[in-house]
Structure 1
Amino acid sequence: MVQPPGFEKQASDRSKLVCRLKKSLYRLKQAPSTWFEKLQAYLVDNLKFKELLADALLYFWGSDGHKIYIMVYVDDVVITGENATEVNSIIKEINTSFLSKI
């Protein structure tokens, strides 16, 4: 880790110091897993996505030959599919329940 510009300090023996993080990045250590559990429940229960056995972070929905995949990684969500209208519909659905930036 490198000290941020303007906050560089050296120890009395002229060695470099490191920064110490006093709080977790999400304020609460359990916040990322709580967010993921809510998203997972919403995708499976409300939007009827299926969790793939090969990867617990990949979700699938298919109807009338159209497929939509959602990949969740930490706090990023990637949505892709064959039909742009259906993908945009899913994005709107998720935006009604979760704060997100498009």
Structure 2
Amino acid sequence: DVKTAFLHGELEEEIYMLQPEGFTETGKENLVCRLNKSLYGLKQAPRCWYKRFDSFIMSLGYNRLSSDHCAYYKRFEDNDFIILLLYVDDM
């Protein structure tokens, strides 16, 4: 399980949200917050997490299966190999 996985995704667009309850400042209640990172509950969060994970795991020399983009493998010279499966935030 990857802890707080969805909080590590990079947003590809500007997203604004209402200020969280208890965060508002007197006279600034109508201001909104611009998100710098992905947040739980965003419809984009799973995709942002996947794209970050995918680029990281590929940089380690893993290959993605063309038939399943959540399945990766890495071969070693001594005929050993690793198969890694990703399901949401579980490996």
Among candidates 37, 44, 47, match of residue 60 of structure 2: 47
CA distance in 2 between counterparts of 1:35 and 1:75 reads 8
- Other-structure match for 2:42: 28
SS at match of 1:68: strand
Q: Distance in 1 between matches of 2:41 and 2:67?
A: 31
Q: Which amino acid aligns with 2:44?
A: Q
- Deviations along 1:51-72, whole A, 9 cap, x unmatched? 0112111000001211001101
- What runs of 5+ residues in structure 1 fail to find an aligned partner? 1-24, 78-102
RMSD: 1.6
Gaps of 5+ in 2: 1-38
Structure 2 matches for 1:1-102, cutoff 5 A? 26-44=40-58, 46-64=59-77, 65-77=79-91
Q: Distance in 2 between matches of 1:72 and 1:47?
A: 15
- C-alpha separation between the residues in 2 aligned to 1:61 and 1:52? 11
Q: Which has the higher helix share?
A: 1
> Which amino acid in structure 1 is aligned with residue 90 of structure 2?
D
Give identity over the alignment, percent.
33
Q: Bigger radius of gyration, 1 or 2?
A: 1
Deviation digits for residues 63-96 of structure 1 (CA, Å, limit 9, x no counterpart):
121100110111111xxxxxxxxxxxxxxxxxxx
